């Protein structure tokens, strides 16, 4: 492993986009953002996506809250993003690692009950046994009790949004124990008019 490239920074991040499938998508996004306290993360939005960085608790807390506050409108919304830890390179935003672990959004998020269909994929970088790490990560998900199915290039989950976020966070953190640089792509969908996926709808 190249120690210079793969730094020891423990900063977590997520680059994500929120897509409300409606004419007033801007209003849905802005309203959701107003409901979320982002003061414990570094945050920057451009014309394609938003990036949040900081302690892992706060990164997951903020992303989940933005998704839930948009989904509770009843609009079909999707959140698509990549979580990352250990990415070689800069350390901008490291100051946010000194925040405490009190979640700023869980209190308002926890009573929002939304069913989510989602697909995620783990990418443990730089190690030859990455497939074993991926299998372990998916098994972590299975232990959480959400519906799990393998599809090409991803794992499909169906369930309550809070359970799903706990599941993918566990899978991500457990993979990070075995690889210093891990990326996890997520594609979360709420209020979709498509029929729900049923057990047995495998590959």
Q: Nearest residue to Ca ion, using CB? A: 80
**Angle, CA of 132, 138 and 142, to the nearest 5°:** 135
Q: CB of 88: closest distance to a copy of itself in angstroms?
A: 6
The contact set with a copy of itself (CB under 8 A) reads 1-2, 5, 13, 15, 17, 19-23, 25-26, 44, 46-49, 51, 53, 76, 78, 80, 82, 84, 87-88, 90, 92, 117-119, 121, 123, 125-131, 151-154, 156, 183, 185, 187, 189, 192-197, 201, 203
Of residues 104 and 179, the one with the C-beta less far from a copy of itself: 179
Q: How many residues does the chain have?
A: 203
Of residues 75 and 174, the one with the C-beta less far from a copy of itself: 75
Say which entry of Ca ion, a copy of itself, none residue 49 contacts (CB below 5 to 8 A, set by partner kind). Answer: a copy of itself
Place of tokens 């009573």: 111
**Angle, CA of 107, 15 and 201, to the nearest 5°:** 85
Q: CB of 112: closest distance to a copy of itself in angstroms?
A: 20
Q: Please tell me the distance from the alpha carbon of residue 160 to that of residue 52, in angstroms, as a whole number.
A: 23
Q: CB of 160: closest distance to a copy of itself in angstroms?
A: 16
**Angle, CA of 29, 32 and 35, to the nearest 5°:** 150
Of residues 89 and 111, the one with the C-beta less far from a copy of itself: 89
Residues in contact with 131: Cβ distance below 8 Å, sequence separation at least 6, in sequence order: none
How buried is 29 (Cβ within 10 angstroms: 0-12 exposed, 13-18 middle, 19+ buried)? Answer: buried
Q: CB of 156: closest distance to Ca ion in angstroms?
A: 16
- By C-alpha distance, which of 172, 168, 167, 166 is closest to 133? 172
Q: CB of 124: closest distance to a copy of itself in angstroms?
A: 8
Of residues 34 and 152, the one with the C-beta less far from a copy of itself: 152
The contact set with Ca ion (CB under 5 A) reads 80
Q: Do 58 and 104 form a contact (C-beta atoms < 8 A)?
A: yes
Of residues 152 and 198, the one with the C-beta less far from Ca ion: 152
């Amino acid at each position: 492993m190249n120690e210079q490239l793969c730094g020891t920074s423990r900063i977590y991040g997520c680059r994500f986009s929120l897509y409300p499938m409606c004419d007033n998508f801007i209003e849905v996004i802005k309203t959701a953002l107003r409901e979320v306290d982002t003061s414990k993360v570094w945050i920057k939005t451009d014309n394609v996506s938003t990036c949040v960085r900081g302690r892992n608790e706060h990164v997951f807390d903020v992303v989940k809250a933005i998704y839930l506050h948009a989904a509770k409108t009843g609009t079909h919304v999707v959140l698509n993003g990549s979580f990352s830890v250990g990415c070689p390179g800069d350390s901008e935003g490291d100051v946010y690692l000194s925040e405490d672990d009190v979640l700023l959004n869980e209190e308002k998020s926890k009573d929002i009950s939304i069913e989510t269909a989602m697909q995620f994929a783990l990418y443990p970088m730089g190690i030859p046994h990455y497939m074993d790490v991926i299998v372990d990560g998916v098994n972590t998900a299975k232990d959480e009790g959400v519906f799990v199915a393998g599809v090409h290039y991803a794992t499909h989950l169906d369930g309550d949004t809070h359970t799903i976020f706990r599941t993918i966070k566990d899978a991500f953190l457990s993979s990070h124990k075995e690889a210093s640089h891990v990326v996890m792509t997520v594609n979360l969908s709420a209020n979709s008019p498509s029929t729900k996926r049923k057990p047995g709808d495998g590959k």
